């Protein structure tokens, strides 16, 4: 089975090189944020690729930290040193075959397990970029992680602490210079060297597991490097924000040129030229038999895109169905749009709009019925989560209940904190139950049934979602091209006007 190699990049946001965590958060979340320690506002330069942005917190973190501006302003405030490490930045690639909704669900689970459960605050954003030249998609996730632990009371803890060496009597050992002999110990293992590989492997295991679940088994994702696998393929290099911005503007750079050379080399190694040639030949072939005698302004527009060798353009922010389909990469192929137009005999953009409104209205009506159980599903999931937190302490409580006398006294003293947590978690669970019985097996059965019902709806409507996404792409591509033509026309008019003014002067 062929491989796909996961792309990951780990970096540390450092004050010593002029970094600001608030600015980085504004960049990945595509939102305007203000650093409360300096009063500086940071504005995103680009927002059309944002799929989802969210802050995830450990249970003891202050609720106000769900506001990323508050979270990172607090980090900026607590870090006093001019060379402070402010946050860890982690960027990971995701399968372009995934829907946006699946990407959000999967990354939320991955981040919870690897980072939030370990005590880190995580600010993550999923982007889906489309290269305007090649048309290729790039679904990926940025994750910002706090580096300082939080105390149980929600205040920031120390990254490291002093551990004093003691003599045989338990007293501190004083050195010749009068200072006590000690060493510095980190309070967490978050920056252990092995973590990067561990997180990368878990990401690949997660991607492969999800792909197997959804039946997307054409490729196996691999976390090891080309070199580790003995592959002839070469890795690309990270462009960086400034270089990537230049490349988006059509300005070629040395790093961009290197990556283009690497991709071309890899394409040759993987024998992709045959596929590319086949695509070129397909572009020059005549219109399919079904299209003969069928006149359509929509079909003519899409055929012009295909004949130019371009791809359809993907709407992300403005769409309703792009985030639901798993076929984004296929749908930007003009041939798919052609087949859809011919099959539905769509002659004009007005007809396309009417069909879109009709099908989307029908879909949302069915979806509303399926999602009427959404609140029930969320409530049961919350109950199960509360029960899982309560269960181990209930076992300790039950053991205490079966003891008497000195044994009970000794046991309760040893498990004082656990018994207090039992009382707190039980109270929390009973509040959520509102008089109902504690019945985890029933909850799990009901959750499975309701989740299946919602899942079955999405499976049955997958074809409709793909059709609606296809119509959104056709509509967006037309609007994009019209806008570019209008801009070019405006530029030419300005140029002519300037020339006339120069001649008159």
The pLDDT score that the predictor gives to residue 155 is 93
d(CA 296, CA 293): 10
Q: How far is CA 19 from the centre of its chain?
A: 22
- Look up tokens 């139950």; give the residue: 433
- Does the structure show a pLDDT above 90 at 284? no
Cα-based distances in Å from 82 to 76, 85, 405: 11, 9, 59
Q: Domain 3-149+196-221: state its class.
A: alpha beta
User: Sign of the CA dihedral 325, 326, 329, 330?
Assistant: negative
- Does the structure show a pLDDT above 50 at 286? no
Highest mean pLDDT of the ranges 304-313, 382-391, 463-472 = 463-472
Contact 53, 28 (CB under 8 A): yes
Residue of 440, 329, 344, 322 lying closest to 384 (CA atoms): 440
Which one is predicted more confidently, 236 or 310?
310
The three-class DSSP label of residue 139 is strand
Q: How far is CA 117 from the centre of its chain?
A: 18
Q: How many CA atoms lie within 13 A of 225 on its CB side?
A: 9
Which one is predicted more confidently, 243 or 415?
415
Q: Residue 378: enclosing H or E segment and its boundaries?
A: helix 374-401
The pLDDT score that the predictor gives to residue 240 is 67
Q: What angle do CA 129, 102, 446 make, to 5 degrees?
A: 165
Q: Which segments of the chain belong to CATH 3.30.930.30?
A: 3-149+196-221
- Residue-wise pLDDT for 235-280, tens only, equals 666 666 677 777 767 788 877 787 777 667 766 665 554 555 555 5
- Does the structure show a pLDDT above 80 at 145? yes
- Does the structure show a pLDDT above 50 at 289? no
* Minimum mean pLDDT range among 171-185, 307-321, 335-349: 171-185
Q: Is 307 exposed, middle or buried (0-12, 13-18, 19+ CB in 10 A)?
A: exposed
- Does the structure show a pLDDT above 50 at 455? yes
Partners of 89 in the β-ladder? 11, 144
- Please give the average per-residue pLDDT across 193-217, as a whole number: 87
- Residue-wise pLDDT for 61-87, tens only, equals 999 999 999 999 999 999 988 889 999
């Amino acid at each position: 089975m062929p491989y796909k190699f996961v792309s990951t990049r780990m970096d540390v946001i450092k004050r010593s090189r002029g970094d600001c965590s608030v600015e980085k958060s504004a960049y990945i979340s595509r939102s305007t944020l203000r650093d409360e320690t300096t009063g500086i506002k940071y504005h995103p330069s680009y927002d059309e690729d944002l799929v989802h942005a969210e802050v995830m917190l450990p249970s003891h973190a202050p609720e106000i930290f769900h506001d990323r501006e508050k979270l990172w302003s607090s980090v900026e405030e607590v870090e006093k040193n001019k060379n402070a490490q402010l946050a860890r930045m982690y960027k990971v690639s995701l399968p372009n075959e995934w829907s946006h909704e699946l990407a959000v669900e999967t990354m939320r689970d991955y981040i919870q397990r690897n980072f939030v459960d370990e005590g880190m605050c995580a600010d993550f954003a999923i982007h889906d970029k489309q290269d305007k030249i090649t048309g290729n998609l790039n679904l990926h996730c940025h994750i910002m992680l706090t580096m300082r632990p939080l105390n149980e009371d929600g205040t920031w803890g120390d990254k490291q602490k002093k551990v004093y060496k003691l003599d045989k009597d338990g007293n501190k050992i004083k050195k010749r210079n009068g200072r006590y002999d000690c060493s510095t110990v980190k309070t967490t293992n978050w920056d252990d060297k092995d973590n990067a590989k561990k997180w990368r492997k878990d990401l690949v295991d997660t991607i492969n597991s999800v792909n197997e679940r959804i039946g997307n088994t054409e490729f196996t994702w691999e976390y090891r490097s080309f070199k580790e696998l003995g592959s002839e393929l070469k890795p690309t290099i990270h462009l960086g924000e400034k270089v990537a911005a230049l490349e988006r503007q059509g300005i070629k750079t040395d790093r961009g040129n290197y990556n283009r050379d690497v991709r071309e080399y890899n394409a040759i190694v993987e024998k992709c030229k045959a596929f590319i040639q086949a695509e070129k030949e397909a572009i020059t072939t005549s219109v399919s038999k079904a299209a003969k005698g069928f006149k359509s302004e929509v079909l003519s527009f899409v055929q012009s895109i295909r004949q130019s060798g371009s791809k359809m353009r993907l709407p992300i922010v403005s769409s309703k169905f792009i985030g639901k389909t798993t076929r984004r990469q296929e749908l930007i192929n003009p041939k798919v749009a052609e087949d859809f137009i011919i099959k539905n005999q769509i002659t004009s953009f007005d007809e396309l709009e009417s069909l879109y409104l009709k099908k989307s209205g029908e879909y949302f009506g069915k979806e509303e019925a399926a999602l009427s159980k959404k609140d029930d599903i969320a409530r049961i999931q919350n109950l199960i989560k509360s029960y899982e937190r309560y269960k181990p302490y209930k076992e300790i409580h039950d053991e205490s209940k079966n003891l008497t006398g000195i044994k009970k006294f000794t046991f309760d003293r040893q498990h004082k904190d656990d018994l207090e947590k039992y009382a707190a978690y039980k109270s929390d669970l009973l509040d959520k139950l509102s008089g109902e019985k504690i019945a985890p097996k029933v909850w799990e059965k009901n959750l499975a049934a309701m989740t299946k019902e919602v899942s079955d709806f999405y499976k049955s409507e997958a074809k409709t979602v793909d059709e609606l996404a296809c119509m959104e792409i056709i509509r967006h591509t037309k609007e994009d091209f019209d806008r570019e033509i209008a801009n070019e026309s405006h530029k030419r008019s300005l140029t002519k006007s300037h020339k006339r003014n120069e001649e008159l002067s």
